[in-house]
Amino acid sequence: MPIPELREQTAIAEFLELKTDQIDQAIIQKERQIELLHEHRQILIHKAVTRGLDPNVEMKDSGVDWIGNIPGHWQVLSNYALFAERNEPGRDDLPILSVSIHTAVSSEEISDEENIRGKVRSEDKTTYKRVKPGDIAFNMMRAWQGAIGAVEIEGMVSPAYIVAKPKAAFDPRFLEFQFRTRDYIQQIDRFSKGIADFRKRLYWGEFKRLPTLLPPIEEQKQISDFICKLNDKIETAISCKKKEIEKLNEYKAILINSAVTGKIRVCDSI
């Protein structure tokens, strides 16, 4: 391995220390920008599903402390009035869906790698629960972390999940957006039973006691469309920031390699 003189080694080390620190600071700034984009999205979604899109709408007291004021024409109803529990057995021809704290309910069958109980494919699936489009499904053990969402395709979920079928016509996207807001998840956490986080469970009896905000169906759709477009814009911005971070990491690796192999000359007067 070619080794330069000590004086040149020191110059290279100091040069790389300065440049890599500058690159790392740029990466930290972009990571912070990604965090701010996530926070901005949460704020806008929360405002949309609790206040609506019209800033001039007349407000009223919701009667629920943690909700506060809501548009005067919205309703606050318990989940018991909105949903009934679905307890239908699964079928061999139905895909197995998952409920994630990051992506809510999957829209396709989970892979063998993701399915820790992959052997169920060759076993009796009747213990699994059938779900239909428009249902709300949540993982009893992880609902307090945000593992709740709307079902898009017919399938089945683990018996450890709860399935709620709507009693009336709703926009399931609106309900999912509302249930996954930070404030609502905090209430799910409060209603969950268990002496420790890893033992917490949100049972049907507790879920149906939770209040839900309900604007007219057409307004639900408008809000959902707004949030979907917002998500697309923010995801595009986040993707750009992640690509910039990748480029910076690539540049740092190339810079280090070039400096220590003599491909670039480093001034010793740093």
Spatial separation of the C-alpha atoms in residues 86 and 28, rounded to whole Å = 46
- Output the pLDDT for position 124: 61
What residue has token string 């917002």?
A: 230
**According to the model, what pLDDT value does residue 248 have?**
97
- For the stretch 38-63, pLDDT in tens is 999 999 999 999 999 999 999 999 99
Q: Please, which residues have CB within 8 angstroms of residue 198's CB and are 6 or more apart in sequence?
A: none
pLDDT band at 269 (very low <50, low <70, confident <90, very high): very low
Q: Among the CATH numbers 3.90.220.20, 3.40.47.10, 3.40.50.9100, 3.40.50.300, which is that of 75-213? A: 3.90.220.20
Mean pLDDT of the chain: 90
pLDDT at 115: 55
Percentage of the chain beyond pLDDT 70 is 92
Looking at residue 266, what is its pLDDT?
78
CA dist 96 to 29, 143, 152, Å?
Answer: 40, 19, 13
List of residues 6+ apart from 189 with CB closer than 8 A: 144, 200
Query: Tell me, what's the pLDDT at 122?
Result: 43
Instruction: State the burial class of residue 94 (Cβ atoms within 10 Å of its Cβ: 0-12, 13-18, 19+).
Output: middle
pLDDT tens across 74-130, in order? Answer: 999 999 999 999 999 988 889 999 998 988 898 877 655 555 554 445 456 778 999
Q: Are strands 59-61 and 69-71 parallel, antiparallel or unpaired?
A: antiparallel
In this structure, the chain runs to a length of: 270
Band (pLDDT 50/70/90 cuts) for residue 267 is low
> CATH homologous superfamily of domain 1-71+215-270?
Bipartite methylase S protein (1.10.287.1120)
Q: Where are the domains of the chain?
A: 1-71+215-270, 75-213
Q: Which pLDDT belongs to residue 5?
A: 85
Model confidence pLDDT, tens digit, residues 14-42:
999 999 999 999 999 999 999 999 999 99
pLDDT in tens, 152-201: 999 999 998 999 999 989 999 999 999 999 999 999 999 999 877 778 89
